[in-house]
Structure 1
């Protein structure tokens, strides 16, 4: 049995003394025949069975001990732990509450109950209980770690995060270093957006425990955010190995591949899961976002996505896919969906990019340009971000900046012929007629008569006059040495 479950004799001294008094009193006043079962012995037998993994038998012993002596907090506590292991959570809650009632200043049942409440996502109650556990024993090595996990999950405000960080800093200053304190400290530093400090804390964790899965995953995410995809993937793959291909680690590997533009590798990672794993909603959703053409869903597929979203309202991948499907038919709804996805996973640049593209579709060009520029600061090769930023800048009549974006696009994707049309018209609007003429002619040489007929017609109407303007030397003259 793990050390956290076994209650040793030293912990029981006071309870056992009280128990003996109570039993003696009961035995001398009761008319019932003497009960040969000794509650303490039964409790120890329960712990032995618990340690051996025989939870059903352990419960039998704990309940027999409690039948002999109902006011036995240690037995209630251990019964609660057995119920948790058997996933009988409502019964576990009753046992932990009873243990607390019997021994109000004993921190262990508070801690176990708080973690149970976290599991049930009853975060406010969990915070109260875990805080009480820490108050009862400020040297408790588990309570601040549990609180850190809780605060990260509930996205607690800075006013709660900062005091806990100070507690964890004090804890990590003591020797010997405790790996769990450092891991919790890193998580809180990351929640406070102190990425440098968080990376340093996770580095310390991995120096002490190179296979610490949580630290490997957190550091992988931080490295991915800093565009260090190689380092991020190294950590994520190490977490996958250390966790024996856990779902969380495998999804992280796939997301890092996707974030770095390696869609095929991301899909292969998901396809390597067993059949049960492949059917999980989060896996199906991520794979669909990588392979499904969300922008061209049929009406039936849209209805299916809406129904699935009702079942999984917090699934960012589903929200993003539906946002893409509605981008042209319902720009306002699309924009809101992308905003939700980006809010759920603010570090996912794909969702932020989709939000920027939806802003362009909604003709909110200034907002789109601001968001897309921030994305490109982090991910400079993001083709979708460049495409939408070019459009936003063009519509804002910021033609020099738009030309720079469109030129990046044709250098990166030479078959994007229509970009030459926008480069030409931008130069034309700036009065840079020589550059406009060169770009128009390049466009005509590469344009497809079926795909680009509208633009071809516009160019053919413009060219006769433009050639005369160039011949007459009209237009803005670039300074000597200008390109």
Structure 2
């Protein structure tokens, strides 16, 4: 998710400079400075800059004048001029918190992130209670995947002044990036109550939760936003997306149908309608909607990716790859395209080809967690456990709240015979997703491997309740019943297992199947 925009403001605009009984030359530069400040307040940035240039030309030793010149240049997106002005201000006054702060914003706009962070750190050292500096430094660190540092500055920003909606939402992001879901949800609930008459806050919270793979709480906040502002496509589109992720095609279509008129010109609307139809098994309608999305914007590769997902769901991997190759010509730097091609090869059990495309996706986006995760699954399926462990661990670092990542990481640890670590990973899985059958099965299986049969029984029974189509769960719970002396239950469990006519899968086969279940379009 993109950050809220950094605030391009000085800490405060200083009052106009009093002219008093100054000499004419001094009076003149102060006049230019005061005019520039008035223009800046009126957001007339070009005449403001011209006045500040005149002021600094006549008075080269005044740091405040150069700060103002930098501000006007920054607002005009003249970044080189802004940088030069702020640097000159710091030559004249190295302790100017305003100059360090605005130089940091300039560096950020130039994508010179390490320099931006250093400048903002200097600003908050000089002005420890300045909320905007603390906030912007926290957001910048958050964008750099440094949530532990970010949360400290964001908390300081909250203590330094009034809590804004932007600050609250970025605190939620920081907690989620740290894997502290309870803290994030607590902050989300508090913020939605604090800003209860602001549907844009619930919308932002819902989007953040959705981006962090938490569709259930995301739906709660998006529905609240929709009640506050009915019929708004900006709310109902992500709400429909959330329902699709939760497998609820009926509610997704209900949200989309309510904006069928106002959103009909949006390719995203038709892509979501197609996904909802696909989820409900209406193949022809889904195909028609994807055609409309492409017709509205034939240069948008996202619509072709959605069409490829359609073909993947129906086992048409060749067609999917052909569509994705067309998308790649439109945007060769869109990492979702090689990732999606990899899915087709992975579903077809062509692991080497899939791995090659995943390498390309990760090259385009080194923090592409889904691509890293899938590559880890492939390495595990190939019996390359150590490589798989490192990749799956990295995907978890990027998305620590994803239960699927914890589960398959645990499966990799189990295959490496690191049972206690695997158990902890499976416990985290079912804590994050209490109805995730595979997580309960793997937890029970790992406990049984340690001979903890009484403890294993509950997770395995919950696995069958959640996933009655999981053959191995019946086999494992049958073994547990035998160990616990429950012969009748064991016989029933083994009989259920035999009905599936399934053999025992190897560790690598289990990883491959679990991975395909996750990545294959629903």
The TM-score with structure 1 as length reference comes to 0.66
- How far apart are residue 402 of structure 1 and its match? 3.8
Cα–Cα, structure 1 residues 191 and 347, in superposed 2: closer, same or farther, change >3 Å? closer
Report the 3-state secondary structure (helix = DSSP H, G, I; strand = E; otherwise coil) of the residue aligned with 1:301. Answer: helix
Over the aligned positions, Cα root-mean-square deviation in angstroms equals 5.3
Q: String of CA shifts for 1:335-371, please: whole Å, max 9, x gaps.
A: 1111111112222333223322322333323221222
- Check if 1:101 corresponds to 2:155: no
- Check if 1:412 corresponds to 2:416: no
- How far apart are residue 391 of structure 1 and its match? 3.1
- Check if 1:51 corresponds to 2:21: no
- How far apart are residue 42 of structure 1 and its match? 8.0
Q: Distance in 1 between matches of 2:69 and 2:340?
A: 42
Q: Distance in 2 between matches of 1:47 and 1:376?
A: 55
Q: Which residue of 1 aligns with 2:262?
A: none
Q: Distance in 1 between matches of 2:20 and 2:145?
A: 39
Aligned to 2:205, which of 216, 237, 254? 216
Q: String of CA shifts for 1:245-296, please: whole Å, max 9, x gaps.
A: 59xx988985x55774669979838987975583674765887899885794
Gaps of 5+ in 2: 1-6, 253-267, 276-289, 303-330, 507-522
Q: Which residue of 2 aligns with 1:230?
A: 219
Q: Does 304-313 or 318-327 show the bigger shift?
A: 304-313
Q: Which residue of 2 aligns with 1:347?
A: 401
- How far apart are residue 437 of structure 1 and its match? 2.9
Q: String of CA shifts for 1:207-256, please: whole Å, max 9, x gaps.
A: 3644247863587479976963531443687999999859xx988985x5
- Check if 1:203 corresponds to 2:207: no
Report the structure number with the largest CA radius of gyration.
1
- Any residues of structure 2 matched to 1:18-167 within 5 Å, and which? 20-21=25-26, 39-40=32-33, 43=36, 47=40, 51-52=43-44, 63=53, 66-67=56-57, 69-71=59-61, 73=63, 76-85=66-75, 89-104=79-94, 106-118=96-108, 120-122=112-114, 124-132=117-125, 134-135=127-128, 138=129, 140-150=130-140, 152-153=142-143, 165=155
Q: Distance in 2 between matches of 1:58 and 1:164?
A: 32
- Check if 1:327 corresponds to 2:385: no
CA contact (8 A) 1:295 1:326 kept: no
Q: Distance in 2 between matches of 1:65 and 1:103?
A: 17
CA contact (8 A) 1:356 1:372 kept: yes
Higher relative contact order (CA 8 A, sep 6+): 2
Cα–Cα, structure 1 residues 380 and 311, in superposed 2: closer, same or farther, change >3 Å? same
How many residue pairs were aligned? 426
Aligned to 1:365, which of 411, 419, 429? 419
Q: String of CA shifts for 1:87-123, please: whole Å, max 9, x gaps.
A: 5545432222223333556543332223334553226
- How far apart are residue 6 of structure 1 and its match? 12
Q: Distance in 1 between matches of 2:240 and 2:54?
A: 49
Report the 3-state secondary structure (helix = DSSP H, G, I; strand = E; otherwise coil) of the residue aligned with 1:228. Answer: helix
Gaps of 5+ in 1: 25-37, 456-483
- Any residues of structure 2 matched to 1:172-321 within 5 Å, and which? 172=162, 194-195=183-184, 198-199=187-188, 201-203=190-192, 205-207=194-196, 209-212=198-201, 216-217=205-206, 220=209, 228-234=217-223, 260=246, 268=272, 276=300, 278=302, 281=334, 293=346, 296-321=349-374
Cα–Cα, structure 1 residues 346 and 3, in superposed 2: closer, same or farther, change >3 Å? closer
Q: Does 330-339 or 237-246 show the bigger shift?
A: 237-246
Q: Distance in 2 between matches of 1:364 and 1:299?
A: 27
- How far apart are residue 308 of structure 1 and its match? 2.9
Q: Distance in 2 between matches of 1:261 and 1:290?
A: 20
- Any residues of structure 2 matched to 1:398-477 within 5 Å, and which? 398-444=452-498, 446-448=499-501, 451-452=502-503
